[in-house]
C-alpha cells in the first residue's frame, strides 16, 4: 500500500508556530534578563506570522488533509485569528507585571505559545484523537503556567488542584471517545455523523459515550457542577496567567463544542440538548448568585465566567445556525470583555501590591477618570447593559433560544442576569461614589495604556455596530 504524502499547506500556521516555539526556546537560552524583551518580541512576531499564514491558507470550502484528520475552514480561520489577537493582548498587558515580579522569563512565552498551538489544533481537528491531542497540549501548558511562580504557595496549590481535576476530566473525555469509537468504528467526525444518521448504532453505548464527553467538555468550559477549579485557579494564579486562562482557551473550548457535538454528534442533538440545558441553568444560577458574596475581584470574575459559560451554551442548545453564530459571537465578545477586566486589575497592580480586592477600585474615578470609564464600559458589558457588546451578545443567544420554543429558559436567564447585575454595579459604585483609599498615581507602559483604551472602546463600538462581526460569524458557520 503506497503512502500518500499529505498536503501540508492547510497546516502551515501550526507548523510555523511549532517552529517558532523551538526558535524562541533556543534563543532565550543565550539571553540575559536585560535582553529578555527579545523573547517577548519574537513571541509577538510568532503570533503575527501565524495570523498572516492563516489568512493566506484560508479556504472558501472546507479543506481536509492528513487523512481527513485536519480541516481548514472558515470557522477555524476566524477563531484562530481571535486566538492570536487575544494572546498578543495578553502579552502586552502582562509584560510589566511579569517584570516587576521576576516572572518575565522565556518559560512563560514558550508555554503560552505551546498553549496557542494546542488551541489551533483543537480548532482545526476533524478527528477525536486530534481534538484530544490539542486539548492535552493546551492543558499541560496551562498547568505549568499556573505554577510558574514557584515561591507562591497559593499558586502551587491552585496548579495542583487544576492538574488533578484536569486529569480526571481528560480521562472522562477519553473514555467517552473510546466508547464512541467502539460504537461507530471510527474516530473521524464525518464518519461518526454519517453512522449516527443511518440509525444503525447501539443507542445505549452512544448515550453513555455522550455523557462522558459532555462531562469532559463541561469541565474544560468551567460549567456547573464541574466548575470547582475555576475560582481557585483564577484566584491562586498570578493575574497575568489568569488573564491568559480566561481569554483564548474559551474560544478553543467553543471550537471543541462545535467539532464534537455539532459536527460529530449532531444526530444525537435531542440527547445532548437536554444535558446542556441542565449545565446552562446551573451555571447561570450558581455563577450569578455566588459572585455576589465575593470580595476578591478575581474570584468574582471567575464566577462571572461561569455564568457567561451558561449563556454561551444557550446558543449551542438552540441547535440552529443562528444559535451557533450567536454563540460564536458571544465567545468572542466575552473574550474581549475578560481581557479588559483582568487587564484593569494588572493596570492597578504594582510591585508588592495586587489590586485583586474590590476595595482596591474605590475612588478610581478620582485617580484616573479615563480608565474608570473603561472599567465602567467593561462592567456594563458583562452585565448586558446597552449599548455595549455584552448586551447584543446576550440578546443574540436569548433570541436563538426563544426561536426554538424554550421561552422559559430565556426568561430564567434574563432574571438571573438582572440579579447578577448587582455585583457589576457594585464595582461601579466603588469607582465613582467612594473615596480612594490608595492615591498612588497609575503608572504603566504607553503600549498597555493604548491597548487597554482600544480594548474598552472596541467593546463599546461592537455594541453599537455589531452587524459586521455577527455577519462574519454567520457566514463562516453557514
Tell me how far apart the alpha carbons of residues 145 and 115 are, in angstroms, rounded to a whole number. Answer: 10
CB 277 within 8 A of CB 244: no
> What is the reported pLDDT for 368?
84
Asked whether residue 68 is domain-assigned, the answer is yes
Per-residue CA distances from 324 to 105, 116, 264, 267 (Å): 39, 23, 15, 16
> What is the reported pLDDT for 202?
55
> What is the reported pLDDT for 1?
54
Q: Which of 70, 77, 16, 24 is nearest to 48 (CA)?
A: 16
CB 149 within 8 A of CB 88: no
Phi-psi region of 242 (alpha: psi -120 to 50; beta: other; left: phi over 0): alpha
Which helix (H) or strand (E) covers residue 307, if one does? helix 297-318
CB 162 within 8 A of CB 142: yes
CA atoms 106, 111, 115, 118: torsion sign: positive
Average pLDDT, the chain: 89
Q: Where are the alpha helices (DSSP H) in 222-296?
A: 229-236, 239-246, 248-257, 269-291
Asked whether residue 3 is domain-assigned, the answer is no
Main-chain dihedrals φ then ψ at residue 57, nearest 5 degrees: -90, 5
Cell of residue 368, nine digits: 484616573
Per-residue CA distances from 334 to 307, 323, 340 (Å): 11, 16, 10
CB 315 within 8 A of CB 326: yes
More confident residue, 444 or 455: 455
Residue 138 has pLDDT above 80, yes or no: yes
> What is the reported pLDDT for 267?
80
Tell me how far apart the alpha carbons of residues 331 and 445 are, in angstroms, rounded to a whole number. Answer: 28
Average pLDDT value for residue range 118-147: 92
The number of residues making up the chain comes to 478
Tell me how far apart the alpha carbons of residues 230 and 221 are, in angstroms, rounded to a whole number. Answer: 9
pLDDT tens, 254-277? 999 999 888 888 888 888 888 999
The secondary structure of residue 247, as a DSSP letter, is S
Tell me how far apart the alpha carbons of residues 320 and 430 are, in angstroms, rounded to a whole number. Answer: 41
* Prediction pTM value: 0.93
What proportion of the chain, given as a percentage, has pLDDT over 70? 99
> What is the reported pLDDT for 325?
92
Which helix (H) or strand (E) covers residue 65, if one does? strand 63-65
> What is the reported pLDDT for 13?
92
The secondary structure of residue 63, as a DSSP letter, is E
CB 11 within 8 A of CB 124: yes
Cell of residue 107, nine digits: 518559560
Per-residue CA distances from 261 to 109, 139, 189, 208, 361 (Å): 32, 20, 10, 14, 41
Residue 282 has pLDDT above 90, yes or no: yes
CA atoms 331, 332, 333, 334: torsion sign: positive
pLDDT tens, 412-431? 999 999 998 999 999 899 88
- Domain count for the chain, please give it: 1
Tell me how far apart the alpha carbons of residues 80 and 251 are, in angstroms, rounded to a whole number. Answer: 9
pLDDT tens, 294-318? 888 999 999 999 999 999 999 999 8
Average pLDDT value for residue range 20-36: 89
CA atoms 398, 401, 407, 411: torsion sign: negative
pLDDT tens, 231-242? 999 988 888 999
Asked whether residue 4 is domain-assigned, the answer is no
Asked whether residue 383 is domain-assigned, the answer is yes
Q: Which of 227, 317, 326 is nearest to 272 (CA)?
A: 317
CB 323 within 8 A of CB 400: yes
Which range of residues forms the domain containing residue 68?
9-477
Q: Which of 436, 312, 422, 311 is nearest to 364 (CA)?
A: 436
pLDDT tens, 170-222? 999 999 999 888 888 888 888 888 888 887 555 788 888 889 999 988 988 88
DSSP 71-135: EE-HHHHHHHHHHHHHHHHHHHHHHHHHHHTT--SHHHHHHHHHHHHHHHHHHHB-BHHHHHHHH
Asked whether residue 2 is domain-assigned, the answer is no
Helix axes 74-100, 467-477, angle to 10 degrees: 130
Determine the distance from the C-alpha atom of residue 422 to the mean position of all C-alpha atoms in its chain, rounded to a whole number. 24
Amino acid at each position: 500500500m503506497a503512502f500518500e504524502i499529505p498536503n501540508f499547506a492547510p497546516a502551515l500556521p501550526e507548523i510555523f508556530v511549532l517552529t517558532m516555539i523551538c526558535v524562541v526556546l533556543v534563543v532565550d537560552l543565550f539571553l540575559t534578563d536585560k535582553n529578555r524583551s527579545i523573547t517577548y518580541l519574537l513571541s509577538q512576531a510568532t503570533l503575527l506570522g501565524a495570523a498572516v499564514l492563516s489568512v493566506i491558507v484560508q479556504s472558501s470550502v472546507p479543506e481536509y488533509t492528513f487523512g481527513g484528520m485536519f480541516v481548514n475552514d472558515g470557522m477555524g480561520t476566524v477563531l484562530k485569528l481571535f486566538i492570536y489577537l487575544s494572546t498578543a493582548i495578553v502579552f502586552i498587558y502582562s509584560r510589566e507585571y511579569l517584570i516587576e515580579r521576576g516572572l518575565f522569563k522565556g518559560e512563560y512565552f514558550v508555554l503560552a505559545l505551546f498553549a496557542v498551538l494546542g488551541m489551533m489544533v483543537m480548532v482545526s481537528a476533524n478527528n477525536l484523537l486530534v481534538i484530544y491531542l490539542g486539548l492535552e497540549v493546551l492543558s499541560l501548558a496551562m498547568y505549568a503556567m499556573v505554577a510558574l511562580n514557584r515561591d507562591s504557595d497559593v499558586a502551587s496549590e491552585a496548579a495542583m488542584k487544576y492538574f488533578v481535576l484536569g486529569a480526571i476530566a481528560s480521562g472522562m473525555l477519553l473514555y467517552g471517545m473510546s466508547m464512541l469509537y467502539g460504537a461507530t468504528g471510527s474516530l473521524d467526525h464525518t464518519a461518526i455523523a454519517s453512522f449516527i444518521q443511518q440509525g444503525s448504532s447501539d443507542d445505549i453505548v452512544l448515550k453513555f459515550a455522550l455523557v462522558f464527553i459532555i462531562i469532559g467538555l463541561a469541565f474544560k468550559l468551567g460549567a456547573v457542577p464541574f466548575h470547582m477549579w475555576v475560582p481557585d485557579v483564577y484566584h491562586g494564579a498570578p493575574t497575568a496567567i489568569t488573564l491568559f486562562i480566561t481569554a483564548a482557551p474559551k474560544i478553543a473550548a467553543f471550537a471543541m463544542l462545535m467539532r464534537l457535538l455539532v459536527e460529530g454528534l449532531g444526530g444525537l442533538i435531542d440527547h445532548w440538548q437536554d444535558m446542556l440545558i441542565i449545565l446552562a441553568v446551573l451555571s447561570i444560577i450558581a455563577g450569578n448568585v455566588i459572585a455576589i458574596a465575593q470580595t476578591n475581584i478575581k474570584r468574582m470574575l471567575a464566577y462571572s465566567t461561569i455564568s457567561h459559560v451558561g449563556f454561551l451554551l444557550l446558543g449551542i442548545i438552540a441547535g440552529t445556525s443562528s444559535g451557533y453564530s450567536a454563540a460564536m459571537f458571544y465567545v468572542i465578545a466575552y473574550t474581549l470583555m475578560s481581557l479588559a477586566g483582568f487587564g484593569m486589575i494588572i493596570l492597578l497592580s504594582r510591585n508588592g501590591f495586587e489590586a485583586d480586592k474590590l476595595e482596591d477600585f474605590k475612588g478610581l474615578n478620582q485617580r484616573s477618570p479615563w480608565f474608570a470609564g473603561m472599567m465602567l464600559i467593561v462592567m456594563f458589558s458583562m452585565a448586558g447593559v446597552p449599548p455595549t457588546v455584552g448586551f447584543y451578545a446576550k440578546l443574540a443567544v436569548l433570541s436563538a433560544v426563544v426561536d426554538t420554543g424554550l421561552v422559559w429558559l430565556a426568561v430564567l436567564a434574563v432574571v438571573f442576569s438582572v440579579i447578577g447585575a448587582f455585583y457589576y454595579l457594585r464595582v461601579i459604585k466603588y469607582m465613582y461614589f467612594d473615596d480612594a483609599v490608595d492615591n498612588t498615581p497609575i503608572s504603566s507602559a504607553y503600549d498597555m495604556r493604548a491597548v487597554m483604551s482600544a480594548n474598552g472602546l472596541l467593546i463599546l463600538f461592537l455594541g453599537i455596530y455589531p452587524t459586521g462581526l455577527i455577519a462574519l460569524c454567520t457566514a463562516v458557520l453557514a
